Structure 1
């Protein structure tokens, strides 16, 4: 039941596509931009340092699929799966345009470069949940659509009564004047597919590629990555707080749809490959999944960044290219001096990192690194480099439109990647 608009191109050059020009939202301060190399702040992460072959090899992942019999049994119990178009056709709410958002949500937008699209959730729609990751149909297919639709996926983690649960908002991006959304709970099949439970994890990274959704996992479900199949979305039948089979049918903590996991990737090396942030890079051949860790701010050693090649053909389980042993091996890895990384993106020869605000500043920072050094936009009369969103959430590049998407708190926003590169010099 695949709904993609056309097949993904697996081989492509490294030329940048034309970027989408936009008028910046009149919500942020006027910024003065200069190269970060002219600044004197001590938070410059410096150049990327390649890791040794042995360290890179230690970041491998072993693919562990959920048995097909268990998935088929669960599908038989839940009923026929529905498609992404069905989820979009039954919206539960609509995002607000930034101009109608509370001042606190607008304050989460970057100072420079300025956002060209911005929206926020109503507080009632996300009460008891915190945001964690973003990906789009621009990742799923290289024409930027899933079937006939443009879609944004926003990952959220539970707190309070929903603690340890994870859900995804399907945002209809066909009409940016009215971005409707619906929720689906991420679940894990248990008892041979006779039941399911919630995914017990915080969501800090997420990539949608083809019909697969890959998310980072920590806490209770501390495997390296979990994989979900967008062709296996199921409808629940009971709106209860329970998760799984109940007396009258199937429940998902009040969510109307569930996405059962179809595979995991587990760390195989002693280096502990536990990605905290993810993104997709379509400027490589083949496409690749970029991963990074977020060591605590101020830690002695900076974060590691690495990438896995993606499968040349649609994978039955997960999208990573694996050998005959079922192991996905990274093709390159680096060390950056940056700590507290909240988002990572690789495109062409540059790596982009977001870092949260420090106690003395309201805004975070966005850096572009390569093996020559690092640059960041600067803003204000004092030429500060803390010009990005404060929480500095994840990054996702929509290649078909040239837009960079991110989320900060309840605020979802986008801007042309070209404007970021222009600000960096």
Structure 2
């Protein structure tokens, strides 16, 4: 068949990222000279800056010519520092040979879906979810099973709903492989309690499922509650911990993530082998960024100063924005406990809009306010807004939402 007919494989219908879907419209508006109030992208660097001590280390690596291919699973020294971090923060003993460096967590997600998914298999995601995960499962012919987070309980997982969804999937013949946790959560800003995580571990163990925990925001905690790493609770149960330099260290453009597979069961050993094979096919992750990562993780004093600055600003902005959103008729918003997002619910029956996609498109076109539709994260009639811009910009974002709610 000619190349021009049916050019793309059928799986490409799942290759979609809603967070950037309004970029073309935003670019058109910018060309007119109008200002856009952007609360769509979860990138702390433009607003709160990178960690300068890490940038200095990155610049030195470049100056020293450290731009060669590094080890496919990751630079030894960087892997050792990642291991030490888990010991320092969570008293976990993780051998560096069980850690893999990836080009951001996006590559980690792809590697895991490629390794674990095929036709007949599936994965359980808590809904709402970060919108890379469901497409990744589908791209490799997997089935997505959604377990609902309870908005009225601060977006907590439901043990009963999780067990019910797993049973239904199994009864339908789906060979489930893993349960995904995002903690702290993107898009909701929630954080799982220790009890909720214990319930997930118990359910995973009873159903012979792998647990994958995305903990990219694990040090961005806005409340006095303690963050629980899944590794503290899941010893003896197959699990994966994912993290990276993007958020806690303000290094989104470094594209450095990591995957920890700590257990020694046969499945975990095979998965480590599979990830190593995939890593060799793409040669290596960013070498100078890994060298900078050594300094990022080793210089604990500088990191704590940077983190204190980040959290102070994010907490102030999150508190302002949550209060302001809850003042808008037809809008309700849960408190953020971690990360830098809010996920307000909008009562579309009080508007002229049929869904949140239409609402967000008109919000950008008319009010020049750029947020992301909740349906892109699996939950309609919601918006995801970051709380990274300064308060005066967040005020304009909230005002734009209020203006459109009145239409």
- Normalised to the residue count of structure 2, the TM-score between the two structures is 0.30
Higher helix share: 2
- Normalised to the residue count of structure 1, the TM-score between the two structures is 0.29
Higher strand share: 1
